[in-house]
Each structure stands twice: as C-alpha cells, then as structure tokens.
Chains A and B, each alone.
Chain A
Amino acid sequence: MATQKTVSTTGNIVVADAMRQCRPDVMAAYPITPQTTIVEEFAAYVAQGRVHTEYITVESEHSAMSACIGASAAGARVMTATSSQGLALMWEELHIASGMRLPIIMANANRALSAPINIHCDHSDAMGARDAGWVMLFAETAQEAYDNTIMATRIGENPDVLLPVMSCLDGFITTHSIDRIDVLDDDTVAGFVGEYVPQNALLDIDQPVTHGAFSGLGGPFFEFKRAQRDAIERSREVIKSVAAEYSELSGRPFGAIETWGMEDAEVAIVVIGSTAGNTRHVARQLRAQGVKAGVVKVRVFRPFPYAELAATLSGVKAVAVMDRAESFGAEGGPLFLEVRSALYDAETRVPIVGYIYGLGGSDVRLDLIERVYADLSDIAAGTAQPGGLVYLGAR
C-alpha cells in the first residue's frame, strides 16, 4: 500500500486535489453552486503553479463542455466540473463528448433542477443525463469522491473504453461538509493514472484527422452508436480491474455495488450516494432488534450493474429502492426502474417498492428510513402488499 496522508476537509476540495494530482492538460469550467469550490480551488492551484493546466474561463457551461470537447479532440487530458442547471446547459455537448469518444472527466455536484429554484442536493441533474453515454460514478463520501475522480481518469482513458466519465458527489452534504479523508501522494497518483495517449489527436500534424463529420445521409450512424454501446459494456471489466489496482494502492475496495448485511438479509434498501450512510446506521440498529436488514449502495450507475444487483437481491423477501430523483410519469424513479428491470430475470419474484426521497435537499431523517424498513418487514411477513410509489416524508 502507498503512504497516505489523512486530511480534514470538504468533498469539493479533495476532488480539486485529485484533479490536480491527475494533471489535466486543460480544464474549462464555469462556477455553479455547489460545485464552485472545486473550480475555485483548481484555479488557485493553477495560479500557484502547482499544476500546469491550461485553465479556460468560459461564459457558460455550454461553452465549458464545448471547450472540453475541442481540447480533448486535440489530444489533451481534460477535466471539468458542474452541477444542476450547469449540467442541464451542457446537455447537447454531453452526447457529443461520448459520441466522439472523448474521455473527459467531469465532477458533478448533485443538485436539484429548477423550478422552483433550489440549490440543495438531489440526483435530478445527473439522472437527467443518464442516457448521454457517459460512465457514471456516484460517491457516498468525500473519500469516495476523491477515489472516484482518480479511478475515473483511468477508466475513461482506457483504450477499450474511451468514454467520458461523470463522477458525482452529493451537493452540500458531501461537497461542503468537512470529512476525514486519506489522500495519496502526488507521485503515486501520477504513476497510477499515467500519461494520456490520445488516439486521433487533432494536434498530431503527422497524422491529420477530421473530427465531428456528418453521418446522416445513409451513413453508418447506427453502427457508431452500436460501437458506443460496445465500449460502455467493455467498461464493466475495466472498472473492475482499475478498482482492483487502486485498492492495492489505497487499501479501499470499490465495487459497482457495495453491500452491507446482504449475506442473510430479508429486507433490503437500494440507495445511491450520501444517504447510504444513514441507511446502514438504521440497518445496524434494526439488526440489534432482530430485523435482518441489508443495504445495497450503487456506486456505478452507468454501465448499470444489473447482474450484481440481481445476484445480491434475489434471496431477499422485500426490496425498497430509494430514488433522489423523479422520472415523472414513470412507475418510479430512475434507480427503481433499473433495479426492477435487473430483477426481472431472477428465479424468484421479489416484491419491490419505490420511494422518492430528499428532493431539493429535503431532510432524510433516520425515522423515515426506519419507516421504509417497517414497510418492507410488513411486506416480507405477508401482512401488506407493495403499494405504488411513495413520496417519503412528504406532507
């Protein structure tokens, strides 16, 4: 294991630090709450000469992602960060980045989308971009946000993948809370991520190329999309191997999902992000009372770990999926839809309930999570049936 230094700081500061350690050639970013301190801190590193990155200040997130695409096509290692409305403004470029197979690394501080205007945490922003062709990682803690940023660089730039990666952390809860984080030294991270060797770089004048050409009049557009699907499927194995290598350095394991108590769980909650901590806390208390409670945290949302989820959930008696995002008009939130689909091929039919919680930073109190487990226990005992979607804690 590499030597590490324990620091006490916020999620945003360690994400900026991880980016500095990955030594991007270019960063193009626009500040937006609650992402601002990432790009602010990174700008300070540039000003101090602690990283030799071309920092492009832009007038909007639309321009930020456009500049990232241009720089990445030129052959640079490129990073950025955004949140909420900023991610929404990048929407068309997100698809261009993945379609052009540019391994841009972006931190996203999860925040609600307007209206009404809200600056607090939910996953609406990232979930709205879930079909944009990006690999998507979600952190529970500042530590995971740090680790994910470093791993994202290796995953995206892997020649078998070459896709952009979005590394998400919960707005304010993770971005702004002071946490205890173990950080690797600069040389270790530099060695781990290595040098980026671009393919088809525009700046390679010995091998001129054309990027962004038209493929619309009977051209093989359909086949290019199929190639993108193949690439994100290949990323499953790359994510595993990068995580295995990283855990040797850091001593911290990383799976596409992380389970707690699932060996013998009868009732389980599937959740993404910071709420996993509170969910484990409640599950631990319930275990002391004899409830066989389990927790499944999803760390990789794209590609979605359906096989892992089906394997861990197929033996339980009732499952709750907690979504911090809406998919208005669908049967449940985005995670619910994925998990239920993952369970379709399971041998036994597991009752599954969808809960929407914490939109716009509304509080996720422990008693609300206790209520979810109580609902599941009733369903597991056969005294209740899964009802429709629940807005957890809404008045």
Chain B
Amino acid sequence: MAKWDISRIDEWKGDEFPLGACIPESGNSREYVTGGWRSQRPVRDSEKCTQCLICWIMCPDSAIVVVDEKVTDFKLDHCKGCGVCANECPADAITMVPEGCELPEVK
C-alpha cells in the first residue's frame, strides 16, 4: 500500500478527508513528534548505569535507545519528559534537568 500522503493536508477539501477520521495506514505514531511537549529532559550518568534496562521496559513512549542490549541514548523526538525512567532507575543514574530553549523541531 502506498504511503499515506498528507503533504497537502492544509489544502484538503470535502471528500479528501478520510471517512470518519480514519487513518488509512497503521503503525505511524512514530511520525508524530511529541518531544516538544517536554519541559524537562532525562540525562543518564553512564558510570552509574548498570544496564539493567528497567528504563527501557518502563518508558511509556519507547524513547530509550538500546543498541546491542545496552542503553545508549534517549529519543528526544518522542520523550515527553515524564520522568518515569528517572523514578524507576535503581542506580539513580538518570536525573531530570529543566529543558532549555533547544527544543526539537515540531511540525
């Protein structure tokens, strides 16, 4: 199935809107960048981190980047700054710091 083209969404008229606000595609929530909602961001201390992966399990936005079974980063395009990772970390390796003005681009 061809990718759903929403590039002209601002110009849609009448019947161009999909029936019942149905999105004719599935699994596309990763394209919805929600990082701009964040007021604080997680920062990980790699020396304290024991790689238990509890943050990866608990993150409600799948925003913990894991490569070869190791936490490497946060996906700031989707992290909403909820702080669940920092709260759950048994090694206190994650702290939440206030977000500055460097926000990811939000469309």
Q: What 0/1 pattern do residues 165 to 200 of A give for CB contact below 8 A with B?
A: 000000000000000000000000000000000011
Q: Which residues B14-29 have CB closer than 8 A to chain A?
A: 14-15, 17-28
| Per-residue interface assignment for chain B, residues 1 to 35, with 1 indicating a CB less than 8 Å from any chain A CB and 0 otherwise | 10000000100101101111111111110000000
Query: Once the chains bind, are A102 and B20 in contact (CB under 8 Å)?
Result: yes
A52 interface hit (Cβ, 8 Å): no
Which residues of chain B are near A211, meaning CB under 8 Å? 20, 22-23
Given contacts A207-B1, A208-B27, A220-B12, contact A227 B17 (CB under 8 A): yes
Does the CB pair B19–A210 fall under 8 Å?
no
Asked if B26 and A101 make an inter-chain contact with CB atoms under 8 angstroms apart, the answer reads no
- How many CB-defined contacts (below 8 Å) exist between A and B? 53
Could you tell me the distance between the alpha carbons of A200 and B24 in the complex, rounded to whole angstroms?
7
Q: Which residues of B contact A (CB under 8 A)?
A: 1, 9, 12, 14-15, 17-28
CB of A210 within 8 A of CB of B17, answer: no
Residues from chain A with a CB closer than 8 A to the CB of B28 are 210
User: Which 10 residue pairs of A and B lie closest in terms of their CB atoms, listed nearest first?
Assistant: A101-B20, A208-B26, A210-B23, A100-B20, A200-B22, A224-B21, A101-B19, A213-B23, A223-B17, A209-B22
Whether A200 and B20, one on each chain, are in contact in the complex, defined by CB atoms closer than 8 angstroms, is yes
* A230-B15 Cα distance, complex, nearest whole Å: 10
Q: Are B24 and A220 in contact, CB atoms less than 8 angstroms apart?
A: no
Shortest Cβ distance from B8 into chain A, in angstroms? Answer: 12
Given A208-B25, A208-B27, check contact A223 B12 (CB 8 Å).
Answer: yes
Q: How far is the CA of A220 from the CA of B1 in the complex (A)?
A: 24
Residues on the B chain within 8 Å of A215, using CB: 21
Contact of A210 among B9, B12, B22 (CB under 8 A): B22
B1 and A199 within 8 A (CB)? no
Any B CB within 8 A of the CB of A71: no
* Contact assessment for B19 and A200 in the assembled complex, using a CB-CB cutoff below 8 Å: yes
Which chain A residue shows the least CB distance to B23?
Answer: A210
Which secondary structure dominates where chain A touches chain B?
Answer: loop
- Docked-complex contact A162 and B20, CB < 8 angstroms: yes
- A99 within 8 Å of B by Cβ? yes
- The closest CB in chain A to the CB of B32 belongs to A214
Inter-chain CA distance A114–B27, complex, in Å, is 44
* Distance of A102 Cα from B20 Cα, bound (Å): 8
User: Would B26 and A100 count as touching, CB distance under 8 A?
Assistant: no
Nearest-CB residue, chain A, relative to B19: A101
Inter-subunit contact A227/B14 (CB<8 Å): yes
Distance of A194 Cα from B44 Cα, bound (Å): 61
- Interchain nearest-CB distance for B63 vs A (Å): 18
Across the interface, do A199 and B19 meet the contact criterion of CB distance under 8 Å? yes
Complex Cα spacing A263 to B100, Å: 76
Complex Cα gap A339–B20 (Å): 30
- Residues of chain B lying within 8 A (CB to CB) of residue A220: 9, 12, 17
